[in-house]
Amino acid sequence: MDKRTDLVGLSQAELVGFVQQIGEPAYRGRQIFAAVQHRRLRSFDEMSDLPKALRERLRETATASTLTVESRYLSADGTRRFLMKTHDNFPVETVFIPEERRDTICFSSQSGCPLQCTFCLTAQLGLLRSLTPGEIVEQIIIALNDAYGVGEKPPRGTNLVGMGAGEPFLNFDSLLRATRIMADPQGLFIVPHRVTVSTAGVVPRIRELATIPDRPHLAISLAAPTDELRDVLMPINKKWPLEELLGACREFEQTLKAGERFTFEYVMLDGINDSDEQARQLANLLNRHDLHAKVNLIPHNPADPLPYQPSPATRVEMFKGILESKGIHTFVRKPRGRDIFAACGQLAAVTQTVGLGANSQGG
Ligand code: SF4
Give one DSSP letter per residue of 306-349, joined into a string.
----BPPHHHHHHHHHHHHHTT--EEEPPP--GGGT-STT--S-
Q: What is the pTM of this model?
A: 0.93
| Rounded-to-integer distance, Cα 300 and Cα 215, Å | 29
pLDDT recorded at residue 358: 31
Question: Ligand 1 centroid vs 113 CA: distance in angstroms?
Answer: 6
Ligand 1 near 168 CB (within 6 A): no
| Rounded-to-integer distance, Cα 304 and Cα 58, Å | 46
Give one DSSP letter per residue of 138-193, joined into a string.
HHHHHHHHHHH-TTPPPSSEEEEEE-SSS-GGGSHHHHHHHHHHHH-TTTT---GG
- Which of the residues 24, 93, 135, 138 is marked catalytic? 93
* Of residues 90, 87, 8, 89, the one with CA closest to residue 42: 8
Question: Ligand 1 centroid vs 46 CA: distance in angstroms?
Answer: 38
Ligand 1 near 117 CB (within 6 A): yes
- Which of the residues 106, 113, 117, 344 is marked catalytic? 344
Residue 265 annotated as catalytic: no
Ligand 1 near 363 CB (within 6 A): yes
Ligand 1 near 123 CB (within 6 A): yes
Q: Which atom of ligand 1 is nearest to the CA of 114?
A: 8
Burial of 332 (0-12, 13-18, 19+ CB in 10 A): middle
First to last CA, the chain: 29
Q: Which atom of ligand 1 is nearest to the CA of 347?
A: 7
Run means of pLDDT, 10 residues per run, the chain, 363 residues: 88 97 96 98 96 95 97 91 96 93 94 94 92 98 96 92 95 97 97 96 97 95 97 97 97 93 95 98 97 93 84 96 97 76 60 36 42
Ligand 1 near 106 CB (within 6 A): no
Residue 113 annotated as catalytic: no
Q: Are 79 and 98 in contact (CB under 8 A)?
A: yes
Q: Are 342 and 356 in contact (CB under 8 A)?
A: no
